[in-house]
Amino acid sequence: MHEDNLFIDTPQALAALCAQLNTSEWIALDTEFIRERTYYPRLCLLQVATPCIVACIDPLALESLDPLLDIVYDTSITKVLHAAYQDLEIFYQLQGEPPRPVFDTQIAASLLGFGEQIGYGSLVQQVLNVQLKKAHSRSDWCARPLDAAQLRYAADDVRYLCSVYSHLRHLLIHKARLDWLTEDLARLCDPDNYQTNAHDAWQRIGGTQQLSPRQLGILRALAAWREQEAASRDLSRKWVLADPVLVDLARMAPRDRAALARVRGLQKYQVERHGSAIIAVIGAALQESESTWPKPPPKRVLSTAQEATVDMLMALVRRQAALHEVSPAALATRSALERLVLGDADVPVLHGWRAQIVGCMLQKMLAGQIRVSLHNGALRIEEAAPSKDQA
């Protein structure tokens, strides 16, 4: 049984909690944060649990989280999270690297047929038959004081995670799939996932299909400037300049304030605050050599025959997913299969356990070495007879 929920807002209480957590082989972990107006997510609450403890830790009331971070970064303690990426991103910003080892119950669930990117509430419902309340999913976790209902909601995010973890881990061991999860978690804990490269920020901006390479060079420079400006002031990117405004600036390339004022969506206060910087960035970008301009990403255009081939490969993926009780998207997405048909061999389905389940079969199908037929409404896979040229 869990102890009553603990609310930790003093150094003494945190030290006492960490003394208990320090003996654990694993801890359930979750965070509540806000980032609507800031560049960096603002950590507002940390929840931890073991089979005997549930605690909510208030980072806004504590000068230091070091005792807890010592636990989180202890490599002998597994950290159990659900949909862990954003939580790990916060810890990366705190410490410069994500904690290890971790167990992501969302990824684990996809390897056991629960569905791709299943939500925490749905997973708790399916595994434990417990219906979680959603009343505080949009709470302002930065506001203080937090009321009892908010704390119960937050605590439930780790309270049931303990039982879900035990259940999923048992199933993975029973099905000999724990190694599968290890491969995927290694990628999740790669620090490169959490590093921001200002030079590449333009690639995350939509609506650029009609821009020329020269205009893309301006966009690249403006996006890098915005990234640095947002980070230095801890502001959301859109609060510096919105994506559509950057695209219009790249297209129009204004060289003075009068031209800036004609850019749709650019507010007067933004011209006053950033006008000189924007003009300077555009001017510098226009001086760059043509050889340095970004090239538009190649359009992935499949012929009708190739689309039909992707459909066949997708059918095979679904067949193997059902056979092995795995989410189809955990094996391969349609986008990955399109890349495969276009000749890209560097897709995840051709590596590791995915290759064993379906990747090698996909390659054989593309090479004409297996054939697919219907038998009693189900796909049948057979080795294709060699052609005369192969005989």
Confidence (pLDDT) at 1: 37
- Work out the mean pLDDT of the chain and round it to a whole number: 93
Tens digit of each residue's pLDDT (9 = 90 or more) over 264-293: 899 999 999 999 999 999 999 999 999 999
Q: How far apart are CA 233 and CA 37, in angstroms?
A: 11
- Give the pLDDT score at 381: 86
Q: What percent of the chain stands above pLDDT 90? A: 86
- pTM, whole model, 2 decimals? 0.89
Tokens of 373: 């037929």
Mean pLDDT, residues 68-72 taken together: 98
For residue 191, what pLDDT is reported? 96
Q: Would you state the pLDDT for residue 134?
A: 78
Which band of pLDDT confidence, cut at 50, 70 and 90, is reported for residue 138?
A: confident
Give the CA angle between residues 80, 352, 123 to the nearest 5°. Answer: 35
Examine the pLDDT at 182 and tell me if it is beyond 70.
yes
Q: What is the pLDDT of residues 207-263, one digit of tens each?
A: 998 999 999 999 999 999 999 999 999 999 999 999 999 999 999 999 999 999 999
Residue 240: CB atoms within 10 A of its CB come to 21
**Arithmetic mean of pLDDT, 318-345:** 94
pLDDT category at 205 given cuts 50, 70, 90 is very high
pLDDT digits (tens, 9 = 90+) for 71-88: 999 999 999 999 999 999
Query: Which of 20-24, 176-180, 229-233, 379-383 is predicted with the least confidence, judged by mean pLDDT?
Result: 379-383
Residue 320 has pLDDT above 50, yes or no: yes
In angstroms, rounded to a whole number, what is the distance separating the alpha carbons of residues 339 and 346? 9
* pLDDT tier for residue 3 given thresholds of 50, 70 and 90: low
pLDDT band at residue 116 under the 50/70/90 scheme: confident
When pLDDT is cut at 50, 70 and 90, the band that residue 167 belongs to is: very high
Across the range 351-377, mean pLDDT stands at: 91
